[in-house]
Amino acid sequence: MTLKPGRSRSVLQRHPWIFSGAFEEVGSSLEPGDVVDVVSHEGAWLARGIVNPQSPLTVRLMTWDETETIDEVNLQTRVRKALEARTVLPRLADTEGCRLVYGESDGLPGLIVDRYADYLAVQVLTPAMERWKSALVEALVASECPQGIYERSDVETREREQLPPAEGVLYGQEPPKALEFRDRDLTFLADLRGGQKTGAYLDQRENRWRVSEYCRDRTVLNAFSYTGAFGLCALRAGASHVTNLDTSEPALSLAEEMARRNEANGILPDASTRLTYLAADVFYQLRRFRDERRAFDVIVLDPPKFAFTKTMIHKATRAYKDINLLAIKLLNPGGCLATFSCSGQVSPDLFREVVRGAALDAGRDVLILEKLSQPPDHPVLATFPESEYLKGLICRVV
C-alpha cells in the first residue's frame, strides 16, 4: 500500500497506526486481516502490518524489518516473547492477576490476554487476530497450561473494526462465576464472563497498594469502587472504615463476597465491621455528602474513561474537575486524595491542570505527593503514546 507524499514520517518513527487518509488508495481486493507492505510515495519499502480496509484505522504495523514474515508461526513467537517478558518483571510473582499480552506494546495489535490464577481472559480486537485466533490460543495453552481460556471480545472497539461481538470458552473449562485470584496475601474475585473489562482492573494493582499506605487508621471513601479492590487494600493496611461507592450492584455484591472471603480466611478478620457499600452515582453522592457535612480522611476517585475521542476532551475535563473539586472539599484537613484518569485523550499535564483548577476553586492547598501510572505488565511503547493511558496523583489536601 502506497502512502501519500509526506506521510512516511510517522511510519519511520515506528508509530504503529496508519489511518486511511494517509494512503494513495485502499485497494478493494484487500480482505480484513491481510498482511500488507507499506511503501513510501517514492516507492521505498517502509514496514509491514495488518490491514482492515473497513476501519479508518486501516493498517497496524508489526515489523520494520523487510525479512520478517508475519504469519501464524511469527505470531506464536510473539506471544511466547510477551509471556517470557512477564516472567522477569518485579513483583509479578506476588500476584495471580496480571496482563500477559498488551496489544501493540507486545507487537500484537488488537490482542489482550489477562491472567487470573489458572484462567486466561482474552480480547481479540482486530480481524487479523481473529483470523489467527486458534494459533494464538494454541501458543497460550502450550506455554501457560491454563485450566481454561475465556474470550471477552464484547467491546465497542470491535464494532469499529466491523467485527461482531464474541464471547465464550476458547479452551478448557468455563471459569467459575466468582473466580478467586491472589494478590499479595489478599483474595480477589473476578467474574470473567460477566464482569467489566476482562473481569477486573488489573492496571490498578500496584497503585492500590501505594494508596493503601496512606490509609492506616483513616476513613476512606472509595469512589467508583467497582468490586472494592482499593478498599480491600486500604483495609489490609489498617483503614478504620471504607465506603465503597459505585452504581453497579453486581460489582458491589462481588465486593461484599470478596470481603467475606478475606474475613473467612483470617487475613481481614473484621472486614465486614469496617465496610459500607453504597449503590449510587458518584456525581450525586458527593454532593449529598457535602450537604450532610460528611468528611473523609482519604478519597479515591477512579472513574471510568470519560473521553473516548478528541472531541470529548472538553466535556471530560469538566467532569474530572467536578468530582475532584467536590472530593477536595470533602476531605478532612491533611486528608489524602488519590485521583485517577484512564482516558488516553487526557494527558498527564491536562490532568494536573484539572486538579490545579479544582484546588483553586476549593480554596485549599493541594500538594502532589506521588505521580502514578501503569504497572510494568501494561508497558508503554515509547514510539506509541496511545499505549499510555492511566495516570494518577496522590495528593495531600491542606
Annotated active-site positions, please? 342
**Nearest to ligand SAH of 100, 282 (CB atom):** 282
Minimum separation from the CB atom of position 264 to ligand SAH (A): 21
Chain centroid to Cα 111, Å, comes to 13
Partner residues linked to 283 by β-bridges: none
**Nearest to ligand SAH of 108, 300 (CB atom):** 300
Minimum separation from the CB atom of position 304 to ligand SAH (A): 4
Minimum separation from the CB atom of position 274 to ligand SAH (A): 18
Task: Read off the C-alpha cell for 225.
Answer: 469502587
**Nearest to ligand SAH of 101, 229 (CB atom):** 229
241-246 and 275-279 strand pairing? parallel
**Nearest to ligand SAH of 10, 196 (CB atom):** 196
119-124 and 57-63 strand pairing? unpaired
Sign of torsion, CA 316 322 328 330? Answer: negative
Minimum separation from the CB atom of position 13 to ligand SAH (A): 33
Chain centroid to Cα 93, Å, comes to 20
Answer yes or no: are the C-beta atoms of 25 and 69 closer than 8 Å: no
What DSSP designation does 121 have?
A: E
Partner residues linked to 111 by β-bridges: 124
Answer yes or no: are the C-beta atoms of 210 and 394 closer than 8 Å: yes
361 C-beta neighbours (distance < 10 Å), count: 13
Q: Distance between CA atoms of 189 and 178, rounded to whole angstroms?
A: 6
Question: In the complex, which residues of this chain contact ligand SAH (CB under 6 A)?
Answer: 196, 201, 204, 224-227, 229-230, 246-248, 251, 281-283, 302-304
48 C-beta neighbours (distance < 10 Å), count: 19
**Nearest to ligand SAH of 246, 388 (CB atom):** 246
Minimum separation from the CB atom of position 97 to ligand SAH (A): 11
Task: Read off the C-alpha cell for 99.
Answer: 496482563
Task: Find the helix packing angle between 72-87 and 133-144, rounded to 10°.
Answer: 40
**Nearest to ligand SAH of 63, 253 (CB atom):** 253
Run of H or E including 200: none
Minimum separation from the CB atom of position 51 to ligand SAH (A): 33
Q: Distance between CA atoms of 307 and 288, rounded to whole angstroms?
A: 26
Task: Read off the C-alpha cell for 362.
Answer: 476549593
